Chain A
Amino acid sequence: MRVGRLVELEADGPERLPELCEKLLANPLIEDFEIQSIDA
Chain B
Amino acid sequence: MVNVLITNLPYLLRGAVMTLWLALAVVTLGTLLGTGLGILATGRSRIVRAAITVYIFVLRGIPVLVVMFLGYYAFPALGFRVNAYVAVGVAQIVYVGAFTAEIVRSAILSVHPGQIAAAKSLGMRRGAILREVILPQATCIAIPPLLNNALTAVKQTAYASVVGAWELTYAAREIVERTLASFQIFLGVMAIYFAICYPLSLLARWYEKRLVVSH
A, B in one complex: no
